[in-house]
Amino acid sequence: MDGIDHLADERNKAQFDVDAMKIVWAGSRHAFEVSDRISKLVAADPGFRKDNRPMLGRNELFKNTLRKAAYAWKRIIELHLSEEEAAKLRFYVDEPAYTDLHWGMFVPAIKGQGTEEQQQKWLPLAYKMQIIGCYGQTELGHGSNVQGLETTATFDPQTDEFVIHSPTLTSSKWWPGGLGKVSTHGVIYARLITDGRDHGVHGFIVQLRSLEDHSPLPGITVGDIGMKFGNGAYNTMDNGVLRFDHVRIPRDQMLMRVSQVTREGKYMQSDVPRQLVYGTMVYVRQTIVADASCALSRAVCIATRYSAVRRQFGSQDGGPESQVIDYKTQQNRLFPLLASAYAFRFVGEWLKWLYTDVTQRLQTNDFSTLPEAHACTAGLKSVTTTATADGIEECRKLCGGHGYLCTSGLPELFAVYVPACTYEGDNIVLLLQVARFLMKTVSQLGSGKKPVGTTSYMGQIEHLMQCRSNVQRAEDWLKPSAILEAFESRAARMSVACAQNLTKFTNPEEGFAELSADLVEAAVAHCQLIIVSKFIEKLLQDIPGKGVREQLEALCNIYALFLLHKHQGDFLSTGCITAKQASLANDQLRSLYSQVRPNAIALVDAFNYTDHFLGSILGCYDGNVYPKLYEAAWKDPLNDSVVPEGYHEYIRPLLKQNLRTARL
Ligand SMILES: CCCCCCCCCCCCCCCCCC(=O)SCCNC(=O)CCNC(=O)[C@H](O)C(C)(C)COP(=O)(O)OP(=O)(O)OC[C@H]1O[C@@H](n2cnc3c(N)ncnc32)[C@H](O)[C@@H]1OP(=O)(O)O
Ligand SMILES: Cc1cc2nc3c(=O)[nH]c(=O)nc-3n(C[C@H](O)[C@H](O)[C@H](O)COP(=O)(O)OP(=O)(O)OC[C@H]3O[C@@H](n4cnc5c(N)ncnc54)[C@H](O)[C@@H]3O)c2cc1C
């Protein structure tokens, strides 16, 4: 537009090396270079335009997504992109599509649950996209309760086949992304039945559509489940409905790493735990934590830049009004979200490490860390997606009225993001899994079994149950040891209180149900401790770049002290801190906001998002918001004509009639 950087003064205030921070955010110099190169490539390519998304009808929108996915694949091949680069390209194209499920769930399900032979047969086809797959687990009647699924896979020893069938309406597959209109195949979860015996839910590779003309194969009824929340947004995805009428598949299409059915129809279990059938969900939950930091940082980048541009009140002697970012209330809403984006980034990095470690152990039949990996992925998925969904909405409000415009980018981001609280496991259901894990850990404390990994803090349970914080001045809250002790004792005491209350019930399951709200709170406390401690651990690493460590320390303290302030009821009622110490934490938080304020724009610049990816006039890099908003308004299809369509039918007759009434 005018070519001026309206945020230049803000950028000049930065007290740290932004380029070094970009590398910390990306995870490594290599990751930064790939991300930077691919994001610019996508931004410069008109084939990936997305600003018209909210205006398109469903059919047009969907066709456009098909076009983009095919074009993205073409570019991936032409440019010989590596797997890492291709994944980045799909990320920056920034449009939910069937490919997310193909690469994100179908392929990992075959990798995780298929035998070597099955992988050799199916993966090359999937890698070349000669088949397109989805993940068909959820049904109309059951999503959270996987054991309640009703689709059946009955072995027929006569023909050496499984017969896949949907016995009831509620057994219809419902929700799988990519299923509605695109997938040729699916990993379908169904109850395995051999010789009249039900062996529970297992995965099967089922072909759904002809590879010749894309029509559904005999016995298959398939379609899209309809429009979802928001314009554009997740409606680019064909979430589907699917029914089977006695569809036959060969026996070797049951995913047989965990259990097998022999030619004679004998059911056999490997010595790997049954829970590996749930392995794909563990993998995806881990990626969702990393995605949370992307979505939240994106919203925070928009809200921070706009808060520096926007001015309201406070003009002195005819001078400029105050930037809204200088209001303490704005900082108190915005900076904890900025800190959360960084916190989720680092815990996501750690979770990826944990997942890789578990996968390597599984290959050598070491299953010891699987329960912890399940608890961590489930809990962190839940806590980070809830905070991110709420955070995006808060960012919209931080942008005032303009945040409600689609051109702010925030409504669509919110609409796309909120289902993350539900898919891949409802957040409450997942926290209850964490709570079960914690109750098990507490119950084993007396047995001499040493808690490990993220529950190792419970090893000092006597200390944590009676310690009192020794914070005396606001600055004492900057000590990692003070923060850790407060978070550890809060989490331990909440878990122990739940465990003690559970003993009052003769039936433990009844007790668990009755106390489930408290158990969820204990699980949240445990997960927040993990996030805080992983941020603190990150700061123990070598962090090059002028001033970078100091900024990260400030953000880490903001994240922890904001949580402490928000959940001070927990900290006070469990006696971990006093009212005076809670108030000191709040004093410290205010001074941390002042420390972050001059660096705020640089801290969001470190995300290195292009204007194309942000998709937001309010968040544009140069801060030239008003001319861009004004220009964009005139491009709205409603402004194609000065007098709107419908004037002659609906406005003119009304005005005429009112004129007659007025004359009377
Ligand atoms: C503006 C534009 C922006 C554009 C952005 C573009 C990008 C967007 C991209 C987004 C892509 C996202 C795609 C979304 C895909 C969603 C896919 C789905 O939802 S797929 C569908 C997802 N569906 C769901 O998530 C369903 C959720 N439900 C479940 O996972 C299960 O039913 C359950 C866990 C709740 C219960 O399980 P159940 O067996 O009934 O009962 P028990 O509780 O008794 O557990 C028994 C034992 O097993 C243990 N264990 C359990 N799980 C695991 C595990 N994973 N591992 C290991 N162990 C596990 C458990 O600890 C226990 O151990 P122990 O105590 O005996 O030692
Ligand atoms: C956009 C989107 C994409 C999806 N993609 C796929 C896909 O590709 N493949 C696929 O198979 N599935 C997919 N799903 C389905 C998704 O995984 C399920 O919707 C999800 O697991 C939640 O299950 P549910 O719908 O049965 O919720 P429900 O379990 O019916 O939840 C309803 C309410 O009940 C509560 N509740 C349920 N059980 C308990 C309990 N034990 N204790 C306390 N409260 C409880 C929940 O907290 C919630 O408040 C998708 C869903 C969405 C929204």
* Ligand 2 pocket, residue 215 CB under 6 Å: no
Phi, psi of 291 (to 5 degrees): -60, -35
Asked if residue 346 is part of any domain, the answer here is: no
Least confident of 564-573, 622-631, 649-658: 649-658
Answer yes or no: are the C-beta atoms of 348 and 530 closer than 8 Å: no
* Ligand 2 pocket, residue 425 CB under 6 Å: yes
Cβ neighbours for 405, distance < 8 A, ≥ 6 positions apart = 411, 617, 629
Whether 659 has a pLDDT exceeding 80, the answer reads no
Read off the pLDDT of each residue in 124-131 and give the average, rounded to a whole number: 98
Cβ neighbours for 302, distance < 8 A, ≥ 6 positions apart = 395, 399, 408, 409, 410, 614, 616, 618, 619
User: In ligand 2, which atom is closest to the CA atom of 228?
Assistant: 1
Integer Cα distance of 206 and 664 in angstroms: 73
Integer Cα distance of 83 and 597 in angstroms: 39
What ipTM does this complex have? Answer: 0.96
* Ligand 2 pocket, residue 234 CB under 6 Å: yes
* Ligand 2 pocket, residue 427 CB under 6 Å: no
Asked if residue 197 is part of any domain, the answer here is: yes
CATH of residue 209: 2.40.110.10
Asked if residue 246 is part of any domain, the answer here is: yes
Name all residues whose Cβ lies below 6 A of ligand 1. 94, 96, 100, 104, 135, 137-138, 144-147, 177, 275, 278, 281-282, 370-371, 374, 412-413, 416, 423-425, 429, 433, 436
Which residue's C-alpha comes closest to atom 28 of ligand 2? Answer: 144
Q: What is the DSSP string of 139-183?
A: BSS-SS-GGG---EEEEETTTTEEEEE--SGGGSEE--TTTTTT-
Whether 658 has a pLDDT exceeding 80, the answer reads no
Q: What is the mean pLDDT of the chain?
A: 96
Residue 636's pLDDT is what? Answer: 93
Q: What's the N-to-C CA distance of the chain in angstroms?
A: 54
177 in a known ligand binding site: yes
Residue 663's pLDDT is what? Answer: 64
Q: How far is the CA of 138 from the centre of ligand 2 (A)?
A: 8
Asked if residue 256 is part of any domain, the answer here is: yes
* Ligand 2 pocket, residue 536 CB under 6 Å: no
Q: What is the pLDDT of residues 429-457, one digit of tens each?
A: 999 999 999 999 999 998 888 899 999 99
Asked if residue 489 is part of any domain, the answer here is: no
Residue 190's CB is within 10 A of a number of other CB atoms, namely 28
* Ligand 2 pocket, residue 419 CB under 6 Å: yes
Integer Cα distance of 96 and 99 in angstroms: 8
Whether 231 has a pLDDT exceeding 90, the answer reads no
Asked if residue 345 is part of any domain, the answer here is: no
Residue 282's pLDDT is what? Answer: 93
What ligand is nearest to the CA atom of residue 411? Answer: 1
Phi, psi of 360 (to 5 degrees): -65, -40
Residues in the chain: 664
- Domains of the chain: total: 1
Asked if residue 519 is part of any domain, the answer here is: no
Q: What is the pLDDT of residues 466-494, one digit of tens each?
A: 999 999 999 999 999 999 999 999 999 99
Asked if residue 563 is part of any domain, the answer here is: no
CA 599-600-603 angle, 5° bins: 85
Per cent of the chain over pLDDT 70 is 99
Residue 311's pLDDT is what? Answer: 97
Domain containing 258 equals: 107-270
* Ligand 2 pocket, residue 143 CB under 6 Å: yes
Answer yes or no: are the C-beta atoms of 471 and 465 closer than 8 Å: no
454 in a known ligand binding site: no
pTM of the model as a whole? 0.97
Active site residues: 424
Integer Cα distance of 334 and 312 in angstroms: 17
What ligand is nearest to the CA atom of residue 229? Answer: 2
Q: Which of these, 345, 512, 356, 533, lies nearest to 434 by C-alpha position?
A: 512
Residue identified by tokens 């490594």 is 28
User: In ligand 2, which atom is closest to the CA atom of 143?
Assistant: 26
Cβ neighbours for 230, distance < 8 A, ≥ 6 positions apart = 411, 412, 414, 415, 416
Q: To test the ligand 1 pocket, which listed residue (61, 91, 144) has its Cβ within 8 A of the most ligand atoms?
A: 144
Integer Cα distance of 204 and 248 in angstroms: 11
Integer Cα distance of 12 and 599 in angstroms: 9
Whether 616 has a pLDDT exceeding 70, the answer reads yes
What ligand is nearest to the CA atom of residue 419? Answer: 2
Residue 275's pLDDT is what? Answer: 87
Read off the pLDDT of each residue in 263-271 and give the average, rounded to a whole number: 93
